[in-house]
Structure 1
Amino acid sequence: MKKFFKGFKDILKRCFKLIKYNIADLILFEIIYKSFILFAVLFCEDLFKYAVKISGITHLTPDNVILMIKNPLSAVICIILVFIFVYLTLLEIFGIIIYFESAKNRIKLSFIRIFTEAFKRSFMIFKPRNMFIVFMVLLFPLSNIYLTSGYLNSVRIPEFILDFIKENVILSIVYIIILILIYIVLFKYIFSIFEIVINKTDFKSACKKSSKILKGKFIKSVSYFIMFMIFQLLLTLFIVIIAYLFIILKIKLFYTGTDIENYYWLCVTSFNNFFSVLLSIFILIFNIAFLSVLYYGYDVIEDDHYILKNKKRFDCKSILKTVVKYIVIIMILLVYSDTFYLNVPILKGFRVWTKKFGK
């Protein structure tokens, strides 16, 4: 057990080293991606509305969705939309993997280079031999594992279907078995995505390599990943608690009057908006960083050359560029947090607590 925790600590250390190597450009890539996806989603919405219109349906409901699929042109448009969403999902994942690959090799890529490389390599999914990766990506939202920060991550099984399953014991057992199988398939072949991006292999060969990498290490890897998810949860809870306590302390010491409660909720809402944007960026980055460390560690057994050993040199021009990047990032995130809000269960759970504690 001691050896297991030591290994986990070592993996965390390598994760942070990979992430921080050129983090400003990584965050800027995420910002560009999110801006790009907003325009892409608007286009997809118009395309979907057109598919509904030509199928002769006024309002789409679960009852008449079959009528839409029966229309050949509507069905083709729906298939195209699925491929677009898969492409947009992989665009982000490919970009982050490209960043970690360059960080491992101690090469600094600009955020524009990361985006253009990811944009080009993502087209590999349209090759006939790589088509099956579409089905793998569509399993991401069903697994509830945060492997994308895009709109695909918001896809969930409708509540009325889940309620119907819960009411039937046999269906509940079948549903649990299917979920377990999805987790096994996803984790067994998760490194296939790394193989496709880094070595540009076809999906079938990539799956074989992923299975080979995890041979004899599957349970250990899953255990590490579960521990990592718990670590992320605890870290998020710690940050939220510290932030809320700071808000309460600040208001208690420096503010008085009838508007104190309104100002308190203004601070809480502002923090929730800003922190939810950060979470939407960093949860995926941390997850892929963790998987990257496992991939490099297992693929290059006993070879620790990818652990970054930066020799810090004073470079005035480089420092100035980095400072400018961070200023731009903070300004964009502040603007973005005012217009975008991600419902984060952790933050929602603290609202009741802060209301009682704040009073």
Structure 2
Amino acid sequence: MKNTVKTGLRAGLKNWSTLLCFEILYKIIGFSIMGNITETLLDAVLKTGNVTFISQENIGYVLSRPLNLVILLAGLLLFTYYVYFEITALVIYCEAGWRGEHLSVWALWKQAFLRSLPVFHYKNLPVVIVLLPVIGLSVFPLTNSLLKGFRIPEFILDYIQGSFILLPFFVLALALLHVLLFFTLFSFPAVILNGDHFIGSWRRNARLLKKKKWKTALWLLSCILAFLLFALIGFILMVLILWGISNLESFPDNGRSQFEFYYRRWSAMGSVALSIFGTVAFCSTMLTLYHNYKGDIQPLPHKTVHTVKSVLRRVIVIAATLVMLAFYSETELGGNINYPTDVKTEIVAHRAGAVFAPENTLAALRTAISSGADMAEIDVQQTRDGALVILHDSNLKRTTGLDADIWDVDEKTVKSLDAGSSFSSDFRGEPVPTLKEMLDAAKDRIQLMIELKSTGHEHGLVEKTVEQIRAAHMEQECIIASMDLELLEKSKELAPEIRTVYITALLYSDLYDLSYVDGYSVETTSLTSIMLLQAHIEGKKVYAWTANRENNIEKILRMGADGLVTDNPELARYYQNTEGENLLLQSLTDILY
């Protein structure tokens, strides 16, 4: 055990400055190149498909064109290579450390390029493509690339978590994916170092793991836990050292501000370094176990004769590496997030606010108003007799218990239903409201984003909605939104004074200039800084949905979107009021000073 730990540490730390240089360059070059190439490919899809935008409205048409499929496949292959290149480099890096060999940055780039090319072999490429989402979702830190930020869209996760049928299958699928990746781990050094193929290496790896499965799993888990403990100890030491420096006699009156200054700088550098070394710690453990199970004899470390020139060169390299790390940590790529100061993101209560009251009810609207939300999003559908009621699903069963489609029942039946008991007994008897009731309750209190649900059974939906908005004199307090562009175009023709918003889970365009659309509401995963810039140039607003988790809320606020659609307006407002603040730093300074 002691020898395994020692060997793993040598594999991971032998060329640590080379690793930092490689990772920083890889991220900077990779992010910029991948971003430009992705934009170029998507622009080519727009031209090939003769469309001005790609959304859920026309994605079927776009994918039906063979040339577009070729372009998108080229993008997938490029992204696959980008991720695999880093994994290849990490394995080569750890192998050099395991052998006790010095490895320069140039040599690492060169070897990684040559050894990563076989990924395009037909026995490797299908496996790697299948493994990409598995690696992105797994707890195994195999990469620091863009794939690390891969997330299942929040609305899909919410839907899965709300289903008693899908949730167990989802958890089981995640478990199976981790098992699949676990049995594939030793394939990476076999393919990268020995020239094997993924197809065919699994059987040999299974033999290596025979009777060692639990031992291997324990080693990998111990590696992760040990690194987390190391990170915690390092963090505590950093805080104590910075506290001591900040309280030197030369800073008698402003120790707190000095501590905050040093903390922000060093914690930014530390978080980048820890992210990199966390991945390497896992990789070096995997490689050490791979060699141990194969019975490989570790070469003796190379004896290096130190001269004044070699020591000076080493000092310069280390100093240059730390300077690169410092500069990189100050950028957003390094996690240093700068919030826009000139954008006031509106908080939009999704379904009128679905956390503290039954969705799409007057009770929910009252909670949205009391929470200080800027706007409430509600869903409008039509009953059999043409009444406009507030309902998200086309079927009434989930919220009211009546298993019937909205277009098959009349207004009187809908008004007799209980839309509150399914949420909580405290809301027993809460009715399904009409659009008029919502307008009356919101007038002069909160703006409304009224989503028109297109079911194919509507008749005069746009006309009646516009009529009721005008009757309430709320043209400037309402937005008409929809996933159906035809409804928005019709709305703008009937009422050009009422704003319109196009709702879509997917959106890409080189010019966000739809004349009958005043704004776009996109799923948070689709939100990009380029989208915001181009839409704002065209005078359009951009909203993002549905953000109930910290990472999505912070992404929307960080980018400066015009609106944040959430089920929990109070949580979103909290993050908005504390954006840019470091709560951990505040707690530390309160304790230390």
User: Given residue 329 of structure 1, which amino acid in structure 2 is its aligned partner?
Assistant: T
TM-score (norm 1): 0.86
Equivalent residue number for residue 452 of structure 2: none
Stretches of structure 1 lacking an aligned partner (at least 5 in a row): 1-6
Equivalent residue number for residue 4 of structure 1: none
Q: Does 1:223 align with 2:218?
A: yes
**Is the Cα contact below 8 Å between 2:46 and 2:53 reproduced in 1?**
no
**Is the Cα contact below 8 Å between 1:148 and 1:284 reproduced in 2?**
yes
* Structure with higher helix content: 1
User: Given residue 325 of structure 2, which amino acid in structure 1 is its aligned partner?
Assistant: L
Return the alpha-carbon distance in structure 2 between the equivalents of residues 187 and 312 of structure 1. 37
**Is the Cα contact below 8 Å between 1:86 and 1:138 reproduced in 2?**
no
Return the alpha-carbon distance in structure 2 between the equivalents of residues 150 and 329 of structure 1. 19
Equivalent residue number for residue 155 of structure 2: 160
Equivalent residue number for residue 232 of structure 2: 237
Q: 1:68 to 1:237 in 2, by over 3 A?
A: farther
Return the alpha-carbon distance in structure 1 between the equivalents of residues 228 and 336 of structure 2. 15
Equivalent residue number for residue 118 of structure 1: 112
1:2-41 equivalence runs, <5 A: 7=1, 9-41=2-34
TM-score (norm 2): 0.54
Q: How many residues align?
A: 347
* Structure with higher strand content: 2
Q: Does 1:325 align with 2:317?
A: yes
**Is the Cα contact below 8 Å between 1:48 and 1:77 reproduced in 2?**
yes
Instruction: Report the 3-state secondary structure (helix = DSSP H, G, I; strand = E; otherwise coil) of the residue aligned with 2:165.
Output: helix
Equivalent residue number for residue 46 of structure 1: 39
Equivalent residue number for residue 246 of structure 1: 241
Return the alpha-carbon distance in structure 2 between the equivalents of residues 112 and 97 of structure 1. 16
**Is the Cα contact below 8 Å between 1:17 and 1:308 reproduced in 2?**
no
Return the alpha-carbon distance in structure 1 between the equivalents of residues 96 and 211 of structure 2. 28
Return the alpha-carbon distance in structure 2 between the equivalents of residues 191 and 306 of structure 1. 18
User: Given residue 247 of structure 1, which amino acid in structure 2 is its aligned partner?
Assistant: L
Instruction: Report the 3-state secondary structure (helix = DSSP H, G, I; strand = E; otherwise coil) of the residue aligned with 1:41.
Output: helix
Q: Does 1:316 align with 2:550?
A: no
User: Given residue 85 of structure 2, which amino acid in structure 1 is its aligned partner?
Assistant: L
Q: Does 1:149 align with 2:144?
A: yes
Return the alpha-carbon distance in structure 1 between the equivalents of residues 88 and 183 of structure 2. 19
Equivalent residue number for residue 444 of structure 2: none
Cα deviation 1:264-288 (Å, max 9, x = unaligned): 4333322232112212321211111
Equivalent residue number for residue 102 of structure 1: 96
1:133-282 equivalence runs, <5 A: 133-254=128-249, 255-257=251-253, 262-282=257-277
Cα deviation 1:13-61 (Å, max 9, x = unaligned): 2111122333333333323322331332233332343155334565555
Return the alpha-carbon distance in structure 2 between the equivalents of residues 63 and 145 of structure 1. 37
Larger RCO, structure (CA 8 Å, separation 6 or more) = 1
Return the alpha-carbon distance in structure 1 between the equivalents of residues 211 and 586 of structure 2. 46
Equivalent residue number for residue 355 of structure 2: none
Cα deviation 1:202-238 (Å, max 9, x = unaligned): 2212222222211211111111111111111111122
User: Given residue 334 of structure 2, which amino acid in structure 1 is its aligned partner?
Assistant: Y
Q: 1:53 to 1:279 in 2, by over 3 A?
A: farther
From 341, 350, 355, give the equivalent of 2:584. 350
Return the alpha-carbon distance in structure 2 between the equivalents of residues 102 and 325 of structure 1. 18
1:329-344 equivalence runs, <5 A: 329-339=321-331, 340-342=333-335
Return the alpha-carbon distance in structure 2 between the equivalents of residues 260 and 62 of structure 1. 55
Return the alpha-carbon distance in structure 1 between the equivalents of residues 17 and 115 of structure 2. 22
Return the alpha-carbon distance in structure 1 between the equivalents of residues 103 and 244 of structure 2. 42
User: Which stretch has the larger CA shift, 43-52 or 135-144?
Assistant: 43-52
**Is the Cα contact below 8 Å between 1:274 and 1:333 reproduced in 2?**
yes
Equivalent residue number for residue 536 of structure 2: none
Q: Percent identity?
A: 25
Distance apart, 1:115 and its partner CA: 0.7
**Is the Cα contact below 8 Å between 1:25 and 1:110 reproduced in 2?**
yes
**Is the Cα contact below 8 Å between 1:24 and 1:322 reproduced in 2?**
no
Q: Does 1:296 align with 2:530?
A: no
Return the alpha-carbon distance in structure 2 between the equivalents of residues 169 and 79 of structure 1. 36
Q: 1:251 to 1:108 in 2, by over 3 A?
A: closer
Return the alpha-carbon distance in structure 2 between the equivalents of residues 272 and 75 of structure 1. 44
Equivalent residue number for residue 86 of structure 1: 80
Equivalent residue number for residue 3 of structure 1: none
Instruction: Report the 3-state secondary structure (helix = DSSP H, G, I; strand = E; otherwise coil) of the residue aligned with 1:323.
Output: helix
Root-mean-square deviation (CA, aligned residues, Å) is: 2.8
Equivalent residue number for residue 67 of structure 2: 73
Distance apart, 1:317 and its partner CA: 3.1
User: Which stretch has the larger CA shift, 321-330 or 74-83?
Assistant: 74-83
Return the alpha-carbon distance in structure 1 between the equivalents of residues 259 and 58 of structure 2. 47
User: Which stretch has the larger CA shift, 179-188 or 198-207?
Assistant: 198-207
**Is the Cα contact below 8 Å between 1:52 and 1:58 reproduced in 2?**
no
Equivalent residue number for residue 553 of structure 2: none
Q: 1:190 to 1:66 in 2, by over 3 A?
A: farther
**Is the Cα contact below 8 Å between 1:165 and 1:172 reproduced in 2?**
yes
User: Given residue 134 of structure 2, which amino acid in structure 1 is its aligned partner?
Assistant: L
**Is the Cα contact below 8 Å between 1:90 and 1:122 reproduced in 2?**
yes
Distance apart, 1:102 and its partner CA: 2.9
Q: 1:292 to 1:45 in 2, by over 3 A?
A: same
**Is the Cα contact below 8 Å between 1:125 and 1:134 reproduced in 2?**
no
**Is the Cα contact below 8 Å between 1:89 and 1:148 reproduced in 2?**
yes
Return the alpha-carbon distance in structure 1 between the equivalents of residues 53 and 592 of structure 2. 45
User: Given residue 207 of structure 1, which amino acid in structure 2 is its aligned partner?
Assistant: W
